[in-house]
Every structure is written in structure tokens, then in C-alpha cells.
């Protein structure tokens, strides 16, 4: 019995006492509140995923369709030729640069003399216009008088001519001091002696017959002598591609028309329906008639006759084969003509690059030739290929009248490069700062450093971007133009807004994140470890390197990853500072690649979303980029979590 | 395991034979003279004029109520207190092997290579067993594999851990049991062959069996090392130490052979404390 009574008494004693409202106790309400918050965040995450996914997912089918049209209309065919011409243009650009470098190097003085004289002539003819005219007239009069054979007239004319000549000479004397040497000799290559000589020789200059002084004539001759062979080679190189370019231009127009018509065809039914509907509603009879006529003019075809319209491309295949073959012969010949050992090191380097690139270019060229020959309008476009065109496409070209390309690669490379630079700068800095603050600093130093880093975090990114444009960009460019720094790869930089600039600013934004997380990681290392190490006679540095950092490594890795996530998702700074050039940076420049401008995944979304039609392919492409960014961020965070769990100290 | 309790402490027996037990039998290795120490720039003294001589190759125990400064004194001996910004020695000297350790030309890092330390809470590094023991040698620049192997084995054998871990030297040290980890810490401390090993309540986190093993170890180690041990366990002090120092409120109350302290102390305070009547 006692055993029976026991629990009953207990039950009475420990009854629930919390007050209930609508049947929910305080405990339940608290649980519900926190649970609800958690649920909300999950719901929002799902909502974002669904929204992004919904808008993005239809990108691929539509993109595929566009690519099929690209093939059917013959644009693909023409683009193969375009790539050939572009490949040539790239090399040609190098040759031209080499030519001018060489010109400057071996004939710099002659070139300067000729140019300076040209500038002087301009000024002289400008200021002494009247005198020159008078002198010319006087000479004509003298001529006439001589023809007439009238001695008195001759004498007068001679006198007048001498006067006009003197007037010109006086004018010239007045002009000469006014010539600003810096402007006339813009390269500053002429020595004082050269300059004096040039001014002195102006006396021989006949502005009427436009004959230059002997000194200038000599310079011109020397210039021609020195540069003829290179000049010829350059011309041969430049003109080699003419035929191919002409063929391409001709076919390009046709492909364009075919595409426009095909697109019009696709919308024909819709337009016809709209016109008919409009006609029904039209009040005035003639208005209605006009619409009906227009509607009647629209032919709805079952299928656009691509085969018929693109016949011309098939016909042009043999012509292309011939032109391409001729081109290669001309190319080889021109390549052989280029000087092997020019005097200028820069020209030498440029030509060397041309020769190095030539084999690749040649094989690319032949590949494109093969693509031209193999092209057929009705070969189905592969799904892998259309996916590849997005993920690995090298062009992002939008709003083009020709064809829009949506290739992720330039944007992805830009984002990645900028982020990597940011990390390369931010990681050592923040790790060093974290170690210093955690291990070596005085309390007041700790305080100041932490405070400063918190302030950095508080800078709005648009302000940082502004700073990047106005201050850092200018500073970097000025720095890159310092003579004795020219050995640094990528210096002097062409662009003020570039990958480096954006990367440095993003580093500034990543430092607080990485620093704080690193410091936490170091703090989480039990003091017992460092104490044990010190008690064994290790120095502070040894302790940091051998005990502290290895023990904190997982936290540090996670910090770096999260810093990476922070910078790759950053938008404002890169949009303002990265230069926004949509092209894969030229990695041939080595480390100097960082001084080139680039565009980013975040930047392109911010820049283009406002201007596109909702629902268009371009719009969906931007959503797809957003989705990929989102996936990258999720992946980074997930990995960071994994790392922290994996290496956690027991 | 019971026989451990009965084991006569070798050094203590030696002391007993000598009529004047206050005088250490063997040569002195640590001389503390009138040491004052403060944690707050000298405002208050945590240690107040301690004078003490610690004999070589013996176990010396520090006992006393919590907060009386045992750990503080111990950490003065290898200058671990240097790490606390506000701490400073206010007066007196500590000489180890005749050298004043606060002399300007003494480097605390060098000192610590000769004065090892074992902490209350076992704290092996999150590295392999092997790397833990080799750590002290590695930071001294030893790289030769054979030297390291030899030293690691010797230290592990001396700390009675070799048999248990010899097949898993590459495993993480954190996978060992508490008692094993503490013995590993002892091995780590003696691998560099210090002259002195300081132990701050090395058994307080261990069960009786592990404690007994460590005590065994301490008695063995004192053949080669001088050991200073802080303990709250009176039996432990009697079991392992030859001499015992009793501290109270930062002062050294009594210092003598362990038997004397526990059987017939001079001071009333000592007697109260060791008999557990302390208020
Ligand atoms: N790092 C420190 N900073 C300031 N005061 C300290 C510090 N460490 C210890 N103290 C103080 O010094 C006094 C002695 O401390 P200590 O740790 O030496 O005592 P203990 O005898 O080892 O005590 P226990 O037996 O509890 O370990 C205590 O009052 C303590 O509060
Ligand atoms: Mg203590």
C-alpha cells in the first residue's frame, strides 16, 4: 500500500505550475518563438533558392534554341572566318607595335627631325600665311615679266620679289623664337646642337615650293633607307588577310539578313494575330483596311527555309578554301620577311612573341578552316556544347545586332582573380595582425588594433570604391610610371581601374573578417598548449609556429575560406573599380595580368539587370550567374563548416 | 598496488639516519633567499621573504592551504611568471646551480631547458605521441632521426609509458587516457634531460591507480632528476618526498625532512595543517 501511495503524493507535489494562455504555456511559447525564427530562416533560404532557380532554369533551353538559330542562319559559319581574321589582327597589332618601337630606336632622331620640321611648317604656314602668299605672287610677277622680256618690268619685279622674300625672312625670324621646343620635338630626342642646326637650316626652306631644307631631306632619306625592309614586311603582313576579310564581310551581311528574317518569321503568327485584332477594333475604314493588308502580307511559314537561304554559304566553301590557303602562303612569306634581329629590344621581344604565337595561330586557323568546311546548317546543336558555351564560353556579348554570347568564363576569371589577389594580400596581413594581437601586443595595442579594424569594416563599400577610383587608382598608376620600377611585371599600367586596384580594396574588406575569425581561432587554442611549450624552453616565435598555428589551423583555414566568400560576393567595389572590361585577361602577361581591367559575376548582375527585359534570355542569363554565385557561396560556407568540425581539438 | 604505500622512500631513509634532519644530506641545487614576489607591480607581496634550499636528486614537496603561494613559488623557479606583465620579484634571489636566475645575462628560455615543468592539468600538444616527446629536442634544433628516436624511447621508458605506447607512437596523444597523458607530459619534460623537474599537483586530475603509477615514477625519477612537487595530498607527500616545505599565506612556515614534518613538526600551524585540523 505504501508503495502505491508514494507516487501519488509525489505527483501532487510536483505538479506543473505555469500559467497557460489559450492553452499554451510559457515554455511552449518560448519554444515556439525560437523555433519559429529558425523555421523562418529556412523558409527564406528555400524561397531564395526557388526564386533564383525558377528564373534561371529556363535559361538553358532558350539559350540552346538561340545557338541553333546561330548555326542555321550561317552566323556560326561566318564567325569561324571572323575568328581567323581576328587571330591575324592580334599578331598584326604586335607587328605594328614592333615596327614603331624599331622606328623609335634606330631612326628616332631622324623621325624627330622630320616630325619637328612638320610641326614648324604648320606653325610657319599658319603665322606667315600672308607673307608666303605675297612672296608667291611676287615670284609669279617676276616670272611673267621675264616671259615678256621687259627689262624695266623685270627690275621692278625683282625688287618686289626681293622685298617679299625679305618680309618672309623677317617673319620667319619672328616665328622661330616662338616655337616651343617641347611641343615641336615632342619626344625630346633632339640635342641642343640638332635643334640649333634645324633652326639654322630653316633659311633654306622654301615655303612656296614647299621644299624642305637639306637636313630634313637627309633625315627623310635615312628614315626610308633604315626602315624600308621592315616597312615592306609590315605591309605584307597587314595586307595578307585582305581577301579573307572581304569574303567574310560579304557573307556576314547575308547571314545577318537570314537571321533577321528567321526571327521575324518566329513572331509572324503573333504579329498577324495582333494586326487582325487591331483591324477589328479600328474605327476608321481605311485604318482597318491598312491593318488587314499588312496582316495579309505576313506569310506564316511552317518552317523557315534555311536550306534555301543558306545555299550561298555552301557555295562559298570552295572560295574560302582557296582564300585560306593563299592566306597561309602569304602569312608564311610575311613572317619570313620580318627582321630577325631588330635594333630595339622592345621590337625584338614583340617579334619574338609573334614568332612564338605563329604556330598556335596557324593551327587555330586551320581548325577554323576545317570548321568552315564542315559547317552544315541543319546539324543539331549538342546539349553539351550549348552548356559548355555558357560555362566555358569566352565571350559575354549582349545587345549585339549580330549574336549574343553568354559565356561565363571572362566573368568567372575576373571574379576569381580579384578574389585571389584580395586573399593574397589580406591573409598574411590579417593573420599577422591576429597573431600579434593575440600573442605579442600590449593590451592597449590590442585595443587600438581591434578598434581600427572594426572601423575598416564600417566603411561603406561604395565609399571604398570611390577611394579606389580617386586615390588608389591614380596612386598606382603614378607609381607604375616611376622609371626604376619598370621591371615590375605589368608596369607601367595602361589602366587606372584594374584587377589589382579592385583586389587591393577587397583585401581591405576581407581583413576584418579574416582577422576576427583568425583571432578567435587563436584564442580557442588552450593556453595550456602555449604554456607547456614555453616551459620546455621554446621561444615565443617557436611556440607560435609549432604549437599555436598548427592547433589553430582549422579555424584559420575556415577564416580564409569565409574571407574568400566575403570578397567573391562583393559587388560595389568591383563594379566601380575593376574596369568592367568583359574579356578574359591575357595570362601571357604573367603576373602582370593583374594590371588589366576585368569584369566580375557580381558586377555584371548589378550593371545589366536594370536594363534587360524581364523574361528575356539575357535576363535569365543574369539570374543563372546569380545562381552560380549563390552556389559558390554556399559551397564555401559548407566547406568552412566541415573543416572546423573535422579538425576540432577534442 | 598497495605495496606502494609501504615503499620506503630512499632519500627519506637516508635523511633519517642523520641526526640533524634540517640539513640536507646531499648538495644543494636550488637556493632561494629572502624571496619576495608580487603579482601587482609590488603593491602586495604574494610571497614574503622565502628562504629555502632544495637538495639535488631528491623529491621536495610543497604543501599548504590553497592560495598560499606554492604554485607561485614553483613558477618562479623556471621564471614562468615572466609571462605575466604585472608580476615581479620584489626582493631576494633564486640561485640554481649557483647561478642567480634573475641576473641580466640569464635567458629565461635557456633556463627552462634545464628546469622542466609538469602541469596540474595534463596538456599534451594535439600532435602524435612521438612528436610530443620529441618537441623539446626539436625546438633545440635536433634533427637527426636516430638521436630523436633514442631520446623519445628513453624518455618514454623512464616515464613508464613505453610498453603501452610503443606500437602507436604516430597516434594522436589526445587519444590516451588521462593518466597516460600525464605520464606523456612527464616524458615530454624529461626528454630534454633537465636537471630539475617542477610538478604542480601532477595527480590532482587522476584516479588512484594512475596516481599510484605517477608516484612510482616520481620515486624512480629522483635518481636522475631533482623534483619539486606541489601537492594537496598529505599521503602523497609522505609517500614520495624526502623533504617537505609548509607554506601559509605566502610565508614559509616550516621546512624539514618529510618524516619530521608529518610526525613531529616544530610549529603548531604545521601540525594543525598536516593533521587536518586546519581552520
Ligand atoms: N596570475 C595571477 N595574477 C594575480 N594573482 C595571482 C595569479 N596567480 C595567483 N595569484 C594569487 O597569488 C596567490 C597565490 O596563488 P598560488 O596559485 O600560488 O596559490 P597555490 O598555493 O598554488 O594555491 P592552490 O593550492 O589553490 O593551487 C593567490 O592569492 C592568488 O590569488
Ligand atoms: Mg597551485
Going from the N-terminus, what domains does chain B have, and what CATH number goes with each?
A: 21-122+196-274 (3.40.50.300)
The residue from A339, A366, A381 where one domain ends is: A381
The count of residues in chain A is 650
* Domain residue limits at A294: 60-76+242-381
State the distance between the two ends of chain A, measured CA to CA, in whole angstroms.
51
Residue A392 lies in a domain: no
The total of other beta-carbon atoms located within 10 Å of residue A562's CB is: 19
A5-19, B116-130, B138-152: least confidently modelled range: A5-19
Q: Using one digit for the tens of pLDDT, what is the confidence trace for A202-246?
A: 777 787 777 788 888 888 888 888 777 888 888 888 888 888 899
Average pLDDT over residues B145-171: 90
**Are A157 and A282 members of one domain?**
no
Cα–Cα distance for residue pair A290/A64, rounded to 1 Å: 38
- Total count of domains within chain A: 3
Average pLDDT over residues A268-286: 82
The dihedrals phi and psi of A405, each to the nearest 5 degrees, come to -110, 135
Across A20-29, A98-107, B38-47, the highest mean pLDDT is recorded for: B38-47
Residue A2 has pLDDT above 70, yes or no: no
- Residues of chain A with C-beta less than 8 angstroms from the C-beta of B110: 537
Q: Give B98's pLDDT tier (boundaries 50, 70, 90).
A: confident
Average pLDDT over residues A358-379: 90
Hey, whose CA ends up nearest to atom 6 of ligand 1? B39
**Are A349 and A438 members of one domain?**
no
List own/partner pairs for A416-419 with CB under 8 A and 24 or more apart. A416/A568, A417/A499, A417/A503, A417/A585, A417/A593, A417/A594, A417/A598, A418/A499, A418/A502, A418/A503, A418/A506, A418/A567, A418/A574, A418/A578, A418/A598, A418/A600, A419/A503, A419/A506, A419/A564, A419/A567, A419/A568
Q: How many CA atoms lie within 13 A of B163 on its CB side?
A: 1
Residue A32 lies in a domain: no
Average pLDDT over residues A556-562: 91
Grid look-up 625683282 returns A158
- Residues of chain A with C-beta less than 8 angstroms from the C-beta of B135: 533, 536, 538, 546
Residue A516 has pLDDT above 50, yes or no: yes
Provide the pLDDT for residue A625. Answer: 93
Provide the pLDDT for residue A426. Answer: 94
Contact, B172 vs B128, CB < 8 A?
Answer: yes
Considering CB atoms only, which of B110, B117, B124 is closest to A535?
B117
Q: Give A161's pLDDT tier (boundaries 50, 70, 90).
A: confident
**Are A231 and A142 members of one domain?**
yes
Contact, B88 vs B30, CB < 8 A?
Answer: no
The dihedrals phi and psi of B176, each to the nearest 5 degrees, come to -80, 165
Hey, whose CA ends up nearest to atom 7 of ligand 1? B39
Grid look-up 550549348 returns A386
**Are A166 and A299 members of one domain?**
no
**Are A279 and A221 members of one domain?**
no
How many angstroms is it from A215 CA to the middle of ligand 2? 98
Cell of B265: 613538526
Contact, B112 vs A534, CB < 8 A?
Answer: yes
- State whether the beta carbon of B69 lies less than 6 angstroms from ligand 1: yes
Which of A537, A542, A544, A549 best probes binding to B when mutated, by most B CB atoms within 10 angstroms?
A537
Q: Which is nearest to B33 in space by CA: B75, B77, B95, B88?
A: B95
Instruction: Give the residue ranges of DSSP H helices in A438-498.
Output: 443-458, 461-467, 473-480
Asked if the peptide bond before residue A528 counts as cis, ω within 30 degrees of 0, the response is no
Cα–Cα distance for residue pair A190/A116, rounded to 1 Å: 9
Q: Decide if A649 and B126 are in contact by the 8 Å CB cutoff.
A: yes
The ipTM of this complex is: 0.86
Tell me which ligand sits closest to the C-alpha of residue B65.
1
Provide the pLDDT for residue A12. Answer: 67
CA angle at residue A467 from A466 to A471, to 5 degrees?
Answer: 125
Average pLDDT over residues A323-338: 89
Residue A45 lies in a domain: no
**Are A233 and A287 members of one domain?**
no
**Are A200 and A257 members of one domain?**
no
Residue A548 lies in a domain: yes
Cα–Cα distance for residue pair B113/A94, rounded to 1 Å: 66
Q: Give A272's pLDDT tier (boundaries 50, 70, 90).
A: confident
Contact, B27 vs B56, CB < 8 A?
Answer: yes
Considering CB atoms only, which of B112, B121, B188 is closest to A534?
B112
Cα–Cα distance for residue pair A98/A349, rounded to 1 Å: 8
Average pLDDT over residues A93-101: 89
Residue A42 lies in a domain: no
Q: How many helices (H) and strands (E) does chain B have?
A: 12, 10
**Are A249 and A233 members of one domain?**
no
**Are A65 and A131 members of one domain?**
no
Cα–Cα distance for residue pair B179/B200, rounded to 1 Å: 15
Beta bridge partners of B245: B62, B255
**Are A358 and A426 members of one domain?**
no
Q: Which is nearest to A404 in space by CA: A44, A113, A75?
A: A75
**Are A374 and A437 members of one domain?**
no
Residues of B with CB under 8 A from a CB of A: 78, 80, 83, 85, 109-113, 116-117, 119, 121, 123-127, 135-136, 138-140, 174, 185, 188-189, 192
How many angstroms is it from B200 CA to the middle of ligand 2? 7
Burial class (CB in 10 A: 0-12, 13-18, 19+), A139: middle
Q: Give A428's pLDDT tier (boundaries 50, 70, 90).
A: very high
Provide the pLDDT for residue B2. Answer: 40
Residue A3 has pLDDT above 90, yes or no: no
Which of B81, B109, B182 best probes binding to A when mutated, by most A CB atoms within 10 angstroms?
B109
Residue A27 lies in a domain: no
DSSP string covering A515-542, please?
Answer: HHHHHHHHHTS-HHHHHHHHHTT--HHH
Residues 6+ positions from A467 with CB-CB distance below 8 Å: A505
Q: Decide if A536 and B189 are in contact by the 8 Å CB cutoff.
A: yes
Q: Using one digit for the tens of pLDDT, what is the confidence trace for A173-193?
A: 877 777 777 777 766 677 788
What mean pLDDT value characterizes chain A? 86
Hey, whose CA ends up nearest to atom 24 of ligand 1? B66
Cα–Cα distance for residue pair A14/A192, rounded to 1 Å: 109
Q: Give the nearest chain B residue to A539 (CA atoms).
A: B109
Q: Decide if B119 and A649 are in contact by the 8 Å CB cutoff.
A: no
pTM to 2 decimal places: 0.75
Beta bridge partners of A122: none
CATH number at residue A639: 1.10.3720.10
Q: Give the nearest chain B residue to A542 (CA atoms).
A: B139
**Are A295 and A426 members of one domain?**
no
Average pLDDT over residues A329-345: 85
Residue A641 has pLDDT above 80, yes or no: yes
Amino acid at each position: 500500500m505504501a508503495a502505491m501511495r508514494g507516487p501519488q503524493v509525489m505527483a501532487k507535489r510536483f505538479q506543473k505550475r505555469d500559467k497557460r494562455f489559450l492553452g499554451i504555456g510559457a515554455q511552449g511559447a518560448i519554444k515556439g518563438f525560437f523555433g519559429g525564427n529558425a523555421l523562418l530562416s529556412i523558409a527564406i533560404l528555400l524561397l531564395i533558392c526557388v526564386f533564383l532557380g525558377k528564373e534561371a532554369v529556363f535559361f538553358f533551353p532558350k539559350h540552346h534554341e538561340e545557338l541553333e538559330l546561330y548555326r542555321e542562319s550561317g552566323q556560326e559559319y561566318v564567325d569561324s572566318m571572323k575568328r581567323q581574321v581576328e587571330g591575324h589582327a592580334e599578331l598584326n597589332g604586335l607587328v605594328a607595335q614592333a615596327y614603331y618601337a624599331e622606328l623609335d630606336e634606330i631612326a628616332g632622331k631622324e623621325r624627330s627631325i622630320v616630325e619637328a620640321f612638320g610641326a614648324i611648317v604648320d606653325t610657319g604656314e599658319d603665322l606667315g600665311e600672308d607673307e608666303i602668299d605675297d612672296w608667291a605672287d611676287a615670284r609669279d610677277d617676276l616670272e611673267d615679266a621675264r616671259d615678256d622680256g621687259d627689262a624695266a618690268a623685270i627690275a621692278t619685279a625683282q625688287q618686289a620679289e626681293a622685298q617679299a622674300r625679305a618680309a618672309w625672312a623677317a617673319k620667319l625670324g619672328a616665328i622661330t623664337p616662338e616655337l616651343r621646343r617641347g611641343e615641336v620635338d615632342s619626344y625630346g630626342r633632339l640635342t641642343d646642337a640638332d635643334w640649333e642646326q634645324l633652326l639654322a637650316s630653316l633659311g633654306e626652306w622654301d615655303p612656296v615650293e614647299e621644299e624642305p631644307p637639306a637636313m630634313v631631306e637627309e633625315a627623310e632619306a635615312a628614315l626610308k633607307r633604315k626602315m624600308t625592309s621592315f616597312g615592306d614586311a609590315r605591309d605584307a603582313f597587314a595586307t595578307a588577310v585582305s581577301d579573307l576579310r572581304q569574303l567574310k564581310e560579304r557573307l556576314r551581311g547575308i547571314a545577318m539578313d537570314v537571321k533577321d528574317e528567321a526571327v521575324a518569321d518566329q513572331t509572324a503568327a503573333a504579329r498577324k494575330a495582333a494586326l487582325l485584332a487591331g483591324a477589328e477594333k479600328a474605327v476608321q475604314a481605311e485604318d482597318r483596311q491598312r491593318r488587314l493588308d499588312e496582316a495579309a502580307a505576313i506569310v506564316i511559314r511552317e518552317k523557315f527555309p534555311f536550306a534555301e537561304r543558306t545555299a550561298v554559304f555552301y557555295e562559298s566553301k570552295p572560295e574560302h578554301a582557296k582564300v585560306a590557303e593563299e592566306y597561309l602562303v602569304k602569312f608564311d612569306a610575311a613572317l619570313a620577311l620580318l627582321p630577325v634581329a631588330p635594333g630595339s629590344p622592345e621590337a625584338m621581344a614583340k617579334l619574338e612573341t609573334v614568332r612564338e604565337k605563329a604556330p598556335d595561330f596557324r593551327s587555330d586557323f586551320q581548325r577554323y578552316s576545317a570548321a568552315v568546311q564542315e559547317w552544315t546548317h541543319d546539324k543539331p546543336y549538342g546539349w553539351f556544347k550549348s552548356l559548355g558555351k555558357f560555362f566555358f564560353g569566352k565571350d559575354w556579348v549582349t545587345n549585339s545586332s549580330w549574336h549574343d554570347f553568354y559565356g561565363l568564363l571572362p566573368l568567372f576569371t575576373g571574379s576569381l582573380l580579384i578574389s585571389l589577389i584580395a586573399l593574397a594580400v589580406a591573409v598574411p596581413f590579417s593573420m599577422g595582425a591576429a597573431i600579434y594581437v593575440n600573442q605579442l601586443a600590449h593590451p592597449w595595442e590590442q585595443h587600438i588594433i581591434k578598434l581600427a579594424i572594426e572601423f575598416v569594416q564600417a566603411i561603406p563599400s561604395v565609399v571604398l570604391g570611390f577611394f579606389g577610383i580617386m586615390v588608389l587608382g591614380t596612386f598606382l598608376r603614378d607609381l607604375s610610371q616611376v622609371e626604376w620600377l619598370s621591371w615590375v611585371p605589368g608596369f607601367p599600367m595602361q589602366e587606372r581601374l584594374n584587377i589589382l586596384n579592385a583586389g587591393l580594396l577587397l583585401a581591405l574588406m576581407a581583413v576584418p573578417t579574416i582577422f576576427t575569425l583568425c583571432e578567435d581561432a587563436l584564442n580557442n587554442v588552450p593556453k595550456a598548449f602555449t604554456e607547456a611549450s614555453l616551459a620546455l624552453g621554446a621561444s615565443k616565435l617557436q611556440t607560435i609556429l609549432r604549437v599555436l598555428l598548427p592547433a589553430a589551423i582549422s579555424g584559420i583555414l575556415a577564416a580564409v575560406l569565409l574571407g574568400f566568400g566575403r570578397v567573391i560576393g562583393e559587388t560595389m567595389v568591383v563594379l566601380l573599380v575593376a574596369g568592367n572590361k568583359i574579356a578574359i585577361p591575357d595570362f601571357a602577361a604573367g603576373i602582370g595580368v593583374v594590371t588589366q581591367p576585368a569584369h566580375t559575376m557580381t558586377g555584371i548582375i548589378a550593371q545589366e539587370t536594370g536594363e534587360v527585359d524581364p523574361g528575356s534570355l539575357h535576363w535569365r542569363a543574369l539570374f543563372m550567374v546569380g545562381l552560380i554565385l549563390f552556389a559558390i557561396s554556399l559551397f564555401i560556407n559548407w566547406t568552412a563548416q566541415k573543416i572546423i568540425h573535422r579538425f576540432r581539438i577534442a | 598496488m598497495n605495496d606502494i604505500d609501504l615503499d620506503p622512500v630512499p632519500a627519506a631513509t637516508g635523511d633519517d639516519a642523520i641526526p640533524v634532519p634540517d640539513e640536507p644530506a646531499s648538495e644543494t641545487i636550488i637556493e632561494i633567499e629572502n624571496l619576495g614576489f608580487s603579482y601587482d607591480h609590488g603593491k602586495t607581496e604574494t610571497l614574503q621573504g622565502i628562504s629555502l634550499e632544495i637538495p639535488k636528486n631528491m623529491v621536495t614537496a610543497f604543501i599548504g592551504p590553497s592560495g598560499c603561494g606554492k604554485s607561485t613559488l614553483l613558477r618562479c623557479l623556471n621564471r614562468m611568471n615572466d609571462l605575466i606583465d604585472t608580476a615581479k620579484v620584489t626582493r631576494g634571489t633564486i640561485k640554481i646551480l649557483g647561478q642567480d636566475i634573475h641576473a641580466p645575462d640569464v635567458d629565461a628560455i635557456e633556463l627552462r631547458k634545464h628546469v622542466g615543468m609538469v602541469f596540474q592539468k595534463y596538456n599534451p600538444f594535439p600532435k602524435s605521441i612521438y612528436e610530443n616527446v620529441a618537441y623539446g629536442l626539436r625546438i633545440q634544433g635536433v634533427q637527426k632521426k636516430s638521436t630523436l628516436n633514442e631520446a623519445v624511447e628513453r624518455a618514454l621508458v623512464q616515464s613508464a609509458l613505453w610498453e603501452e605506447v610503443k606500437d602507436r607512437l604516430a597516434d594522436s596523444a589526445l587519444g590516451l587516457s588521462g593518466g597516460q597523458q600525464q605520464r606523456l607530459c612527464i616524458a615530454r619534460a624529461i626528454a630534454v634531460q633537465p636537471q630539475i623537474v617542477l610538478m604542480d599537483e601532477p595527480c590532482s586530475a587522476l584516479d588512484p591507480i594512475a596516481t599510484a603509477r605517477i608516484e612510482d615514477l616520481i620515486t624512480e625519477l629522483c635518481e636522475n632528476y631533482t623534483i619539486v612537487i606541489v601537492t594537496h595530498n598529505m599521503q602523497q607527500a609522505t609517500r614520495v618526498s624526502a623533504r617537505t616545505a609548509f607554506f601559509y599565506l605566502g610565508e614559509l612556515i616550516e621546512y624539514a625532512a618529510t618524516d619530521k614534518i608529518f610526525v613531529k613538526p616544530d610549529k603548531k600551524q604545521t601540525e594543525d595543517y598536516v593533521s587536518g585540523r586546519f581552520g
